[in-house]
Amino acid sequence: MPTSGTVDLIPHFAEVVPLWTICHLLGLPVEDAHRFAAWAKLFARLLDGPRSSRDRRRSDAAVAQMTAYFRQRIGSGPTAERTLIDELVRRCPAELSERDVVATCEMLLLGGFATTVNLIGNSLFRVLSAGGSLSPPDHLPSVVEESLRYDSPVQYTVRVAKRDAELAGQLVAARTPIIVLLAGANRDPQVFAEPDRFLPGRPNAHQHLAFGAGPHYCIGASMSSREVSLALRQLFQRYPNMRLAGSQERLNSRVLRGFSRLDVTLA
């Protein structure tokens, strides 16, 4: 990034961090990062449902290209670098099929991109909006934790009832699809005092459900939180007087909460 001036932090920082992390983790060339970003963005549009048949075709094409990419990488066999893909390939075919390995790689790419981009953008916005009342980088881990609660990167998920049940007096029949509002749970006044205030250092902020819960808990939760905290620390150390430039645009999404544009002045 430049040393000064106005810049949109979403493409120049928020997207770069998870892409480089994923490339390092999987042992993929950084030169292909732009392809991964394009695939992940097209796939993310499907989370809200296709807006048009053209969107569906583009998203389907992205998934097909991504699958072909990982199949080619897996087909070349393990390398000497002992990356995560190499470890998965070594388990084929005794423990994992090629399809399993491809699906795992796609999950790591898609799951590790959009949510991390949104967490970085949301956390930055809250810190810079505080007008100096937060003193980065000292409070960044607590800022990130509270950001996960206050601005849940994923607003809701869908589950299916396994059996008949009653929830808060409401009968739920088996096989009924259920929309689980993670963002709503994270503003529950019975769990969080003053839930509509952004309070870094909140003692029970870790009780948020931004990463899900139980068997569906995100396997990358701890890595994502630490990744974002470290990235923001480096950013604020380099630009200690960074401030909002006044132009921010929210994502047009029901499922994801974040920014499509976040302009700042670097200083």
Would the pTM of this model clear 0.85, i.e. be above it?
yes
Q: CATH number of the domain that 147 lies in?
A: 1.10.630.10
210 part of a folded domain: no
Structural domains of the chain, count: 1
20 part of a folded domain: yes
**pLDDT over threshold 70, residue 2:** yes
Those residues with Cβ within 8 angstroms of residue 189's Cβ, 6 or more apart along the chain or in another chain: 195
**pLDDT over threshold 70, residue 133:** no
Q: Report the share of the chain in percent with pLDDT over 70.
A: 96
26 part of a folded domain: yes
pLDDT tens, residue by residue, 137-175:
667 899 999 999 999 999 999 999 999 999 889 999 999
**pLDDT over threshold 90, residue 93:** no
Which of 230, 252, 221, 264 minimizes the C-alpha distance to 48?
252
* Mean pLDDT, range 178-205, rounded to an integer: 96
Domain that holds residue 85: 5-153+224-258
Both tokens of 194, joined, read 């003053």
How far is the CA of 30 from the CAs of 27, 33, 149, 154, in angstroms?
A: 9, 5, 32, 26
Contacts 24+ apart (CB under 8 A), 232-235: 232/120, 232/123, 232/124, 232/127, 232/136, 232/137, 232/140, 232/143, 232/144, 233/136, 233/137, 233/140, 235/13, 235/124
CA separation for the pair 168, 187 (Å, rounded): 17
**pLDDT over threshold 70, residue 136:** no
* Mean per-residue pLDDT of the chain: 90
159 part of a folded domain: no
CB neighbours (10 Å) of residue 112? 23
Predicted local distance difference test score (pLDDT) of residue 60: 86
140 part of a folded domain: yes
